[in-house]
Structure formats: structure tokens, C-alpha cells
Amino acid sequence: MSEDPTGADFPWKPPSFFDSLGDEFLSGAEGDTVSLAEVQSSAKYIGLYFSAHWCPPCRGFTPDLIKAYKDVLKGKGLEIIFVSSDRDQASFLEYYGTMPWLAIPQGDPRKGKLSKRFGVSGIPSFVIVDATTGATINGSARGKVSSDPTGAEFPWVPKALNNMSAGEGLENINEETALCVLLGGCSSKEVKDAAKAALEPIAEAYKAKGDELLFLYAEDEAGPVEQIRKLTKQEKIDAPQMVMIDIPDEGGYYVSPATEVTADTVEGFISAYKAKGLERQQMGK
């Protein structure tokens, strides 16, 4: 109502992806353009790259994305469209001049529509969409550019169960509760394999019903595991450790007393968390 006080667009039907995307894009800093139909004729997937020249993390990530695009991703049917947050035309043109893909012009209202559609609250952000249907394939694909440099798993459909030691599945950990199973201390490969086998069908079931609980495991101590152990006071032991991390709740976490991962211990831990039957602890304290 605040955006349309006169009701001109009532009943405020949400625009489709293609309504928000529009039909014309810059192709190079010289001002040439291509249509959506031309993009769809050659691409299976559209990557929306939300970025800006003034953003240091963006400038650090852009060369990696350019390399991945040239070496792997374009050949797999991806076309990228730069969605700029640059504050002036000169900065936009300087930054876009380094990029080998398409762009929405600086200051175009499509930027706001797309940012709202995909919940972009920070940049850089990278989204993968099906070029034919407009369906979102991965709303947080930035981490995949570095964790899968060969594009072996492209278009990076989110998994139900992710190995956070390899940098998988961490894109939404600040927004969603995560069940983290730490296996780095286990000396037995059989114990690790059994834990993953128990987690997989549970994670798949929760994903199928649209539950936003993240399922993560740590195969070893790589990636963010050391920091997670520090923040949740989990010393490494020769057994699986299950921790529920709830960063949206101001960094709360919960520890399972179980030292084995089975369908019963996992489901019991989740149920106790949802029933508020566990002791809440504070990360970092």
C-alpha cells in the first residue's frame, strides 16, 4: 500500500521473473543491446550478478566469476546479466567494461524489482535461473563459483545435505537454522559413512516438505569448522557431534548429547529443538 497509495496496480499481483527482468540488455559498454529472446535462444540458464564498483568484496569476486564464465560456465549454457548498484554512470561503465557478459543499465528500475524478488540484502550476490521457465535454480550461488571451479555440479541445484568442510551449503546459514554434524574427530570411516547415510534421507524429506532447516556435515576440519567449534565450544572427540546453530536467533545454539548419528538421534534432536526442550546457549560466550 505504501508503494502504490493510489491503488493503480491493485490487486498488486507479484510480477513474474520475466516481468521483472525486462526484454532488453546491454551487450558491451559501447551501448549495443540484445533482447530476451536472443538470450533464450543461446542460453539454458541466466545468472544475475548483483554487484557494484564501490564494493570491495565485489571487485575481489568479479575476476573469479569472469574466469569461471570464460573457462566453464558459458560453455555449459549460462549467460550472465550484471545488475548494478553503482551510484553513477561513469563508475558503472568503468566496472562493466571489465565484464564479458550482459547488463541492465545503471539506474534502471529493474534493479530494484530483481533485488526485491530474490531478497538481495548484500552484494556481491549471484542467482541462477532457468532461462526458459524463469524458475529459480539457486538463489545463493556465489559460493559455488569457488567451491566448484570446474562446474562439475552446475547449475548448482541446492542439495538437501551439504559438506560444509568443502564450503557447501553455507550461503543461507545467517538466515536459517542449521543442523551441523561434526565428523572431523571420527577415526572410523565406517562411522562417518553411517552418519551421512542416516542424515541423507532425513534431509531429503525436510527439503521435500519445504522446511527451511539446513542440514550440514563436516567431513573433516576444513572450511568453517574450526570457527564453528570455537563459537560452540565443541572440542574434537572421536565421535560424531551434533549442534543446532540458530544465527537468526542472535547466535543461539543447542548441543545434542548423542554420540552417534542415527535416524532416531537426528529426529529426536530436531523434535526437541522445535519443542523448545533444549538448553539454549550463546555463540561466542
Break the chain into its structural domains and give their ranges. Answer: 17-147, 161-282
Give alpha helix (H) positions in 84-188.
89-96, 110-117, 142-147
- pLDDT computed for residue 56 by the predictor: 96
Query: Which residues make beta-bridge pairs with 61?
Result: none
pTM across the whole model: 0.74
Task: Give the H/E segment covering residue 20.
Answer: helix 17-21
Instruction: Give the CATH fold of the 161-282 domain.
Output: Glutaredoxin (3.40.30)
- pLDDT computed for residue 237 by the predictor: 96
Under 8 Å between Cβ of 162 and 215: yes
Q: Identify the CA nearest to 206 among candidates 198, 195, 194, 215.
A: 215
Tell me if domain 17-147 and domain 161-282 are identical in fold: yes
Grid cell, residue 74, equals: 558459458
Q: Tens-digit pLDDT profile for the chain (285 aa)?
A: 887 889 888 888 888 999 999 999 999 878 899 999 999 999 999 999 999 999 999 999 999 999 999 999 999 999 999 999 999 999 999 999 999 999 999 999 999 999 999 989 889 999 999 999 999 999 889 988 988 889 999 999 988 999 988 777 777 788 889 999 999 999 999 999 999 999 999 999 999 898 889 999 999 998 899 999 999 999 999 999 999 999 999 999 999 999 999 999 999 999 999 999 999 999 986
Q: How far out from the chain centre does Cα 123 lie?
A: 12
User: Would you state the CATH architecture of domain 17-147?
Assistant: 3-Layer(aba) Sandwich (3.40)
Burial of 154 (0-12, 13-18, 19+ CB in 10 A): buried
> The dihedral of CA 110, 124, 81, 59: what is its sign?
positive
Q: How far out from the chain centre does Cα 117 lie?
A: 15
Q: Identify the CA nearest to 225 among candidates 276, 193, 184.
A: 184
Q: Identify the CA nearest to 144 among candidates 132, 134, 157.
A: 157
Under 8 Å between Cβ of 183 and 218: yes
